[in-house]
Structure formats: structure tokens, C-alpha cells
Structure 1
């Protein structure tokens, strides 16, 4: 059998990507620079794009655009060139169509990174073009759908919004990394898929291109490229558009963009099983998606399945590129999402060790970023502050945000002097970072918070230039709400937070006691306070022998207003003297109590935060987030009951009596509880969006979280059959 005419160039370009995935960016760039064909030019463009995207290095966008434009033009010329027929599954020249579409997509994303109005328009134009290209490719490469292809992890289908039946493995007992999907192909044509609106204009044949008299050759590198590339592009479009905020979806829907998230994940999973370059990028997209769902949705209908899929993808790629920073990052994320934060910290520190053979600074930024948030979640504030500052040394994106987070860490440590130094630097950092005269969304919020605490310091009678003294709830912990940091911390850390926030004046309202999830009485380890705040049952103290110093009650007595004149509070105001701060405390207490397992107290504080929403002046985002957290709580309560019932059943077996009738009664009761909780959660999500219009800070982030949780609710209904 003759070798495919494009195979040599493709294999050479693949070796360049091998360097890139092993962190050897210099090696990759040198390899790609050795040839000027479209494959190698695309590689050069990808290197520049990844540097620009991961490191937010805008000066690299010009080089990325140059290389990608040349690659796109070269692939277009190859498409038009005459081609000889070879013994293969696909029509000749299809690889150039995929390469061209890849370049168009990356050109669009590069335009978007400029964060300019014209850049966004160019991005939409490019995506529109690539969208129709991948429609045509999908129909050609997968005329009978994707169901005969392998996907990662031998478990049921990806746990996302269903649009096709679940994928099932050949045997439920299999333990292999990849499983063959044997279900009947539902998508014989993609007329009901993501690209349905374009099928009339994408005139392609769905018949096989293989002569039935010729033997089917094994897939070579070009065939792998075609299959993996088509599945990747198709899946990427589906997934990206499904994750856009609803308000944006309504706009792009006008252009014909639809989405089918489950089909997207299936396509990406098919791509991820191959050995082509696209398979690595498909794996990266899937890792990112699974990580986002685990972190941000608040509740997962099948968390263990997501983790299993996530691990299988990471295992597969990490086995090929063990030193790659992006796979190390996702290994750490899996550990953190599995409640092993210390294991995640170990993996991240090992991935950042100074004796590594190759380093990729932009990818290292992601490791440091993840490490900083993980340390913050562990209440290791000094280490977290150091990592947030370190990010500014290797990354140019929003130094103001990282300084703000580091300042919050020092507030938690009681070092208001160091916190003030960092806060004082923020205004200049924001001015330097302005893009087209606009601040980033996080920086808009930060500027409001700085003015808020300056005004508070004036009310307290202190020096305005020392307004860090007025911050009583760490601004780092406040921003951590947007990253959902407190949802997966250990119970002991949630208790430490509860003690700290409950100790602030004025006293908290007394939440109801939970008979099922009440907290045990910890051992007191904190100083006495000049007031006697009411604390929830069982929160009078806390300790854990051998815990790092930072993980205990982090506020030192220097930041507790024992004497108003000492910390610039001669007017002797309470720690929290505005509805904004009281609502923030209630929101944080609601989240922390839920993490600690006290659902009644959690509901009490989250409702309290919602009730204060109309009185909030600056932090108008709190009401919508609190309502979202109430929706999560509805689901967590029933989930906990179900878990407890399962534990009791596994211990007692069938010896408890009751027979079939009792079992049926329990099943009906369970379905009724879930139906009520799912309906209640859905209503609360509607209310959350109503409380978060575009004028509210970071409302698009809440919009995306609502979308993810709605998908989980629908999946749970499907699993329960209700």
C-alpha cells in the first residue's frame, strides 16, 4: 500500500507537538521553523497562540496571526491542487480541509484575545466560517454517527445534558481504559445535532468512499488526523456554544449556532482516544470541562462518573507526556475535587520544582494559579499570598486582581500593614492594564471594594490611607466565592471559617439546630472577645493537633477591635456596619455550614443574605449568588439523605424486615423528595438570574453556573426517570 502523500509532513509536525506537550516550547518552535508547509506553520501558530492565551501575552498575538494566516492560505491552496486517488477510507485532500478549519478557528480565537470590538467581530466571522466547514466534515467522516467509536473510561455515557441515549460499554465488568460503544447509532445524519441549521447548505455525500472490492486498509497517521480532527472540531463548537451565558446564546443563535452538549462530549471523547495531535487537545478540552463542572456547578448528578472520565483522560495523556504541565495541573485538580487538597498541593509543587528539564512559563502560570487557590482553601494564607504575587512575576494578566487576593490573605493573617501596601499599588496596576479604555470585570469589582472600605474607614474615624484596618471579612475569601473555593474544603476548615465570621460584631442571628447534621463541639483555641456573639450550636471552639499554623483561627488579635483607637476605630463602630457586609457574612456562613453538613443553619443564613439584598449598595451580586447557593442546598439535602439511607441499608441488609412493600414505599418516597427538590432548585435558579442582570458585577459567571446546574438537574431527572 502506498504511503499517503501527506503522511511525512504530518508525522514531522506531530513530532513538533510532542516537544510542546512535554513543556519543551523552544524545541517545538525550532522544529516547526524547519519547514514552511501548512502543517508546520500551524504548529508555529499554535505555539504563539498558547503563549498568548495561557500567559495573556498580547504582543505574541501578531506572530500567532502571521503563522496561522500562512497556514490557512497554504491549506487552501492544497485543497485546490489536483490529487491522485490512494487506497484510503476518505476522499483525497480531506486532511487539508481539516487543517484549514483548524487554522480558521485559531485565527478567530486569536482575534478574540485582542479584547477589541473589531477582534470580537473577526472572531465571530471566523467561527461562522469554521462552523460550516466542520458541518461538512462531520457528515463526510461520520455518516452513521459516532456510536461505533471508542470513548474514555468504561462507564456509562458522559453525564451531561442528554440528547442521545447513554453510551454503554461492551461489558459492565470491563476495567480497560477505553470502552467500545455498541449502542445503535441514533445520529445517522446530524440533522438534529448542533449543526442542523447548516445542513441544507453543506452539500456532502454520506456514502462510503471505499471501493467494496478493495480491502479496508488500517488507519494511518492521516486517517487518524481526519477522524480525530473532525471529532475535535465538531465537539469543540458544540461545547463552547453550550457553555456560553444564555444571553450570549440568544445572540449567536441568530447566526445559526446551536448546541448539543452531550453530543459534543461524545465527539471530543472519540477524538481523545486517537493518537493524533487533535486527541491531546480534545483531552485538554474535556479535562477543562470536567474540572469546571466539578468546581462551579455546585452539585453533580453523577460526580463519581465525572471523576472517572476525568481520570481516564488524564491517565492516557499523562502516560504519553508525563512532564507536561497541563496534565500535572489536571491531576492536581482531580485530587482537589476528590477532597485531597494536600495531595493536590504536593503534585503542584512537584510540577513546579526548579530542576525540571523543560519549562513552559505560560503553562507554569496555571500551576501557580491552582496552587494559590488550593492554599487559600486550606487557610494557608501566607503561602497563598506568596503564590498570588508570584503569578504577577510570570504573567501579565490583571496584576491588580492578584494583588487584591494577596492583600486579602494578609488581612486574614492580621497583617494590615502589608495588606495596605498591596492595596495601595492596585489603582496604578489597573490603569496600566486598561484594554481599549475598559477595565476587566474583576477589576471593576475591585475598584468598588476599595472605595467601599475607604468610606468605611472614614465612618470609623480612622485614617483613610489605612483603610485595610476596616476590612473584617477577607477580600480574598470574598472573591473565593466566585471560584466556589469553600464548597470542597475539609469540614475542619469550614468550622474554622464559621468560628471566625461568627465572632465578628454585631452578633449573628441564631440559626435553627439541626438534629441530623448538627456539629460536634470542638475544643476552644481562640482568644476571648470583648463581646459575646451568639454562635451556632457546637461552634464554641475548634482545634486539630498537627495542623499548620495558618489553618487555625487566622485573624490575629491585632486585627480584632479590642480597642477602637488602636485600629483606627475611635467611633467604636461594630466590625460590620453595612447591609453589604452583613449579607456577605451570611452568604459565607451559609456556604460554610453547608460544607460542614449543617443544612438547617445553611438555609437560615442563605435566606438571610437574600433578605438583605434590597438594602445592599455596592455588592449587588450577593442576592443572586445566595439564591443559587440555596438551589444547590436543595439538592445537597436530598443527596445526603439518600447517602445516609444507603449506608444504613448496606449495614442492615434485608434483615430489617418490611419486605417488598416497604422497599416500594421507600422508593416512591425517594422519588417524591427528589422531584420536590429538583423543582424547588429550578425555581431558585430562575430567581437567581432575575437578581443578577447585566448591571451586576460578574453576572456572566453566575449565568454560566446556573446553566451548568440546570444541566445537572435535567440529568438527575433522566437518571431517576421523573
Structure 2
């Protein structure tokens, strides 16, 4: 009973033998090595034992390797098998712990029922298995993943109820706040529910309908008795104490508390972030997220100086420096409250500093520091941080660092560095090689345009390199799949190159001259690089875009309205980042949104332009609000084109903002809808929060 994961916490369990403590210490030290880039040390240490926690430790190590690198082989052979072994071992141990709970020497927690630590082990294994399954190329594995998510949710919810009951008994005067995220409210999946959603404009693809029916057949949506009255609080009746609190008298409780907060937090957060089309599917089959509650749980888990705390820190840094900085419409921070949905700069700085101190040899945390610097408009520093000759012995971490380096160089218009780094990614990571080759080729397109007049011979070399890399890309597309579907950027790259090849043939010009809008600037737009740029870097983007429709571009006169709309959309996005909101809106209204849908539909067309333009309009309206201006030190930036300050009505702006977002959210299926949909989902949550407080 007392063989619990000391590798996940620091205190010693009561009544444990010296032999047990030695074993637990061994697991603790070994498993944590994975976050210091010492995968061999972690594997060797964990191989010495066969306990449930040794098995779970092995599964965690394989999971980290698999998800950092998105490597299918590791997922199939390593992570899946190890996590299954950990899950079955934990189930057996839980049964034994419950059976022996009345033994004289059995450990009894004041907070949790006997065997809860093993129930948590199962939930951790199920949650990680679900992530691996969703990332797997098989639709069958993806369906099984949702079943595992369901089981993990039930177990985690039950653990949180134990904490709720403990806190209520500890202080009966506290108010009980009911959570808004009740898994069981959705009810069973029904075909008429899906069809009604379609009638309302909430379009769901055939594949998603099939997935919903498959999940329904597995009984995933049926309310379970132990979650039917979910009241896990998100307010005063939760444990928010620090690790040294008198509540945590033993390491079992520390393990369960930190682990449950991490797992449930990440689950609630991820569900809340999915794009509109997929969130509708998840809602139909019974899953609802809660971003604020999930983030608070992750911050709570991150307080603990153990492996779970470090993984929670990694999740938080990834969310804030990746997702939050990727999205443009986020909730306003509330004065006097603990802001978790904005960008808590000081807390993040302290968290990263602690992780760098605990894991000094890991380039994983170096990559996170680079992401934070980039998120705070220090792209030069972010690139320099990852440009040293030091390499991580863990291939997956090195691949992550190289990819971050590639993006930083992309945003900085360092074409040579960007090209070399993405080609290096090809050898380090097999996840999206078509995208890597595509961007490498696009870098040479940009270099070709720079020297076409000044150095024609060098320009020809860049033209040849551009054609070589670009034509390599399609052969690598479709090799990786997500839930049995092609990766969005693989679809984009293949279609885009086919469009260029067709134009080159029709116009009888080399491939490099058939490319319209600067593909680098287009890619910066998709990765929201403009939000990371300084004013000077944004002006450089405008200069690159200006070349496209200048006299220097001999083929621009042949371009149709579709390509010109793409140019104006990206140009408007740059002006928004420069706080030229009125100019950005004017460009969007008169040069993009004035076109009919039909212009962007059809063979090889860019059908993502109009929904993206609707989001851009919403972002401008959100950012020129007086509240946003004041919070970000931009007062006075919202002006008319004549330069006069414009009187703003915030309520009206939010209303119009929501209209544009709803248009984007209801849009029929289109290329890159998942990527743009992430921003739309986050934006709708921000607006709903604004409306609830106004």
C-alpha cells in the first residue's frame, strides 16, 4: 500500500520501511531525469523496479518523448505499451489497497479514500494514452482515446469530490460553488441532434459524424453515477494550499493532490481550446472544458517540487507563450483578481526561473525561455538563445529547439537561417516534412526577389533552390495523419504548390515567377508572427508585401481578385499589429470582405481568406476598445485615417466584434479551419466573459 510514487514528491510516507523508501527515492530521482534531457539515466533507473510507480514512470518517459517529437513509432511501440502496463498494474494495486484498507498497519488518508493513489495512476496512464491515441494516425485508436478520456475524467472528478468533502468538513461555513463544467449534462448522442446542429449552421463533417456515432456505440456518452451530480468547486471549497501546509501531512496526499490537479487541469484546458467544429462534436458526446478552472488547477499543481509540478509548469509555459500569444482576442485581466486567462508576466518569469534552476542541463526549458522572449517581442534574443552549438542528447528536445529557432528566424526575415533550420528539422522530426521543405523553398523565393535586379546570377541560384525545395514538399505530404485525416498544413502546401505549377504552365513562366503573394509573409500570418514583432520588423513585412504589387513584379498584372485579396488581408493584419486599426478595417471592408464567397471556392482556390478576414475585423474591434487601449498602454492609438482621435463606444464595438466572430465560427468547412478555429474559440470565450461582467 505504501509503495507510492516518491518520485513525484518530496516527503516520506508514514510507517514506510527503509527498503520501501530506498525504492521510492530511486524512482523519484530516475523519472525526473527526463526533464533534464537525461533520457538514458531515466530509462536505466526505472528499469530496476517493477512496481506500479516504476511502470508509470516508464510510461511518462515514453510519453514525453513521443509527444515532444510527435513520433508515431515511439507512440505505438513505446508509450502505448508502457502506459497500458501501468494502467493494468495500478488497477490491481487499487483493488488490493481497497481490500486491505482495514489492516492494522494500512495507511489512511484524511482526504482520500483507500487506493486513491492507484486510481490516480490509472487516470494518468489513461489520459496520456488518450493523447497518444488522438495523435495516432488510426481513427480506431482515436475513438478508443475518447473512451480513455471519459474514464480518466470520471476518476479525476471523483478525486476532486473527495477534496471538496474534506474542505467542507474542515470548515463547514465555507460556501460551496458549483462548477460549470458538468460532463454528464450532455446526454446521449442522437443522430437528430447532429442533424439539428447542421440545420443551425453548425456544420459537422462526415468524418466527425462517424466519430460521434462510433463513440455513442461505445457508451462513452452515457452519464456515470459517480459524475451525475458533479459539483467540484472552482471557488472557495478547493485546496489551494502550498506544499508546506499542514493539510499535506504525507507524500501520498501530495502525490494525489498535485497529480489530480495537473491531469484534470490539462484535460479541462485542452477541451476548452479545440476549434468550433470539433468543440461542437465534443459537446454532443458529453465533453465540456473550463479554461479558467483548468488553468487554476495547473498553477496549483506547479507549486509542488516534483515531476508533476514540472510537467504542470511545462504545460503552463506552453499555453501562455504558445497559445495565448498565438491568439489575438483574450479576456481582459480583472483588477484585483488572480489573472490566469491573460498573460501573467511576473508569475511566468518566476516559474521559468525555477524550472531553469531545477533542470539546468535541459534545452527543453531553454526553448521555453526562447518562446517567452519571442512572445514579448524580443525575437533577436529568442533566436540568439537557440543558436549556440550546444545540443540536447534527447532528439525530441533538439527537434523542438530547432523548430523554435526556425520560427524566430522566419519572423525576423532571416531567410538563410530560416531555410537551414527548417532543413535541419527534416532530419530531426518526421511530423511535417512537407511544411519544412515548403518554407525552405519560400525563403529562397524571398531571396530571389531581393536580388533579381541587383544580382541576376545570384537570383537564378535562389530560383533553382526554391523550385527544388518546393517540389520536394508534396511527396512528403500525407505521410502523417491526425485522427486519420491529413495534417492541415500538408493539405495547404500540396494545394498551394499545385496552384503555382498550374499558373507556371498557363503563363509559360518559371515556377518562381508564378508565385503571387510572398509565401513567407503568408506563413508569418498563419503563425501569428506579427504579434511578436517590433514596429521596425512590422514595417519590414509591409515592405516585403509592397514588392508583390509593385512594378518589380512582372506577373502581378495577371493576378486575379483572389490573390489580391490575400495580399490585402495580410497587409491589414500587419497594420493591426501597428495599431492602425481604422486603416486595417478599411482595407478589409473595401478589398477583402467586399468579395463573394464564390471567388474563393473551387479547384486550387484559397477558401480560408474570408473566414480569416472576419476574424481580423473582430480583432481590430476588440483591440481599439478603450479598455484594451488602457490595459496595454496604447491610449490614443485608436484614430481615424485623418489622424483625429475617434470616440469609441465599447459596448457597440463588442457587439460588432461578436457578429464577425459568429460569422467565422459558423463558416462551412475550409482549409486551415482548425488553425483559425483555435483563435475563434478563444475569442468567443473572451467575449462571453466580457458580456458576463458588463
Match of 1:86 among 94, 107, 116: 107
Larger gyration radius, structure 1 or structure 2: 1
Match of 2:71 in 1: 57
Give me the whole-angstrom Cα distance separating, in 1, the residues matched to 2:383 and 2:634.
31
8 Å contact kept, 2:179–2:231: no
More displaced stretch, 258-267 vs 640-649: 640-649
Give me the whole-angstrom Cα distance separating, in 2, the residues matched to 1:478 and 1:347.
26
Give me the whole-angstrom Cα distance separating, in 2, the residues matched to 1:364 and 1:674.
46
1:269-326 Cα distance to aligned partner (Å, 9 max, x none): 1111112322122222222221234322213424974333332332332221133233
Pairs within 5 Å for 1:559-578? 560-561=552-553, 573-574=555-556, 577-578=559-560
Match of 1:234 among 236, 240, 264: 264
- The verdict on how the C-alpha distance between 1:331 and 1:142 changes in structure 2, with shifts beyond 3 A counting, is farther
Match of 2:653 among 632, 653, 677: 677
Pairs within 5 Å for 1:17-28? 17-28=31-42
* Matched residue SS, 2:107: coil
Give me the whole-angstrom Cα distance separating, in 1, the residues matched to 2:685 and 2:474.
40
Match of 2:664 among 664, 688, 701: 688
Match of 2:415 in 1: 381
| 2:595 aligned with 1:612 | yes
| 2:445 aligned with 1:411 | yes
8 Å contact kept, 1:404–1:476: no
* Matched residue SS, 1:481: helix
8 Å contact kept, 2:329–2:679: no
- The verdict on how the C-alpha distance between 1:10 and 1:250 changes in structure 2, with shifts beyond 3 A counting, is farther
**CA apart distance, 1:62:** 1.7
- The verdict on how the C-alpha distance between 1:646 and 1:413 changes in structure 2, with shifts beyond 3 A counting, is closer
Match of 1:702 among 676, 682, 690: 676
* Matched residue SS, 1:35: coil
Match of 2:84 among 69, 73, 82: 69
Match of 1:498 in 2: 542
- The verdict on how the C-alpha distance between 1:576 and 1:309 changes in structure 2, with shifts beyond 3 A counting, is farther
> Unpaired runs of 5+ in structure 2?
1-12, 186-222, 239-244, 334-340, 449-461, 637-645
- The verdict on how the C-alpha distance between 1:258 and 1:472 changes in structure 2, with shifts beyond 3 A counting, is closer
Pairs within 5 Å for 1:65-214? 65-81=80-96, 82-83=100-101, 84=103, 85-86=106-107, 88-89=109-110, 90-143=112-165, 187=176, 192-195=180-183, 197=185, 200-202=225-227
**CA apart distance, 1:612:** 3.2
Give me the whole-angstrom Cα distance separating, in 1, the residues matched to 2:136 and 2:55.
21
- The verdict on how the C-alpha distance between 1:410 and 1:647 changes in structure 2, with shifts beyond 3 A counting, is closer
| 2:576 aligned with 1:594 | yes
* Matched residue SS, 2:226: coil
> Unpaired runs of 5+ in structure 1?
149-181, 209-214, 508-530, 532-559, 565-572, 650-668
8 Å contact kept, 1:7–1:221: no
| 2:482 aligned with 1:469 | no
- The verdict on how the C-alpha distance between 1:644 and 1:88 changes in structure 2, with shifts beyond 3 A counting, is closer
8 Å contact kept, 1:135–1:199: no
With structure 1 as the length reference, what TM-score do the two structures score?
A: 0.75
Give me the whole-angstrom Cα distance separating, in 2, the residues matched to 1:686 and 1:647.
27
8 Å contact kept, 1:145–1:186: no
8 Å contact kept, 1:579–1:616: no
- The verdict on how the C-alpha distance between 1:263 and 1:187 changes in structure 2, with shifts beyond 3 A counting, is farther
Give me the whole-angstrom Cα distance separating, in 1, the residues matched to 2:285 and 2:360.
41
Give me the whole-angstrom Cα distance separating, in 1, the residues matched to 2:348 and 2:154.
30
Higher RCO structure, 1 or 2 (CA under 8 Å, sep 6+)? 2
Give me the whole-angstrom Cα distance separating, in 1, the residues matched to 2:286 and 2:479.
38
**CA apart distance, 1:626:** 1.2
- The verdict on how the C-alpha distance between 1:299 and 1:185 changes in structure 2, with shifts beyond 3 A counting, is farther
- The verdict on how the C-alpha distance between 1:38 and 1:222 changes in structure 2, with shifts beyond 3 A counting, is same
* Matched residue SS, 1:201: helix
| 2:347 aligned with 1:309 | yes
Pairs within 5 Å for 1:242-257? 242-257=272-287
Match of 1:447 in 2: 494
- The verdict on how the C-alpha distance between 1:338 and 1:187 changes in structure 2, with shifts beyond 3 A counting, is farther
Match of 1:480 among 524, 529, 549: 524
Match of 2:328 among 298, 320, 323: 298
| 2:360 aligned with 1:322 | yes
* Matched residue SS, 1:67: helix
Pairs within 5 Å for 1:282-431? 282-300=312-330, 301-302=332-333, 305-350=343-388, 353-354=389-390, 359-414=393-448, 415-430=462-477
Give me the whole-angstrom Cα distance separating, in 2, the residues matched to 1:218 and 1:428.
56
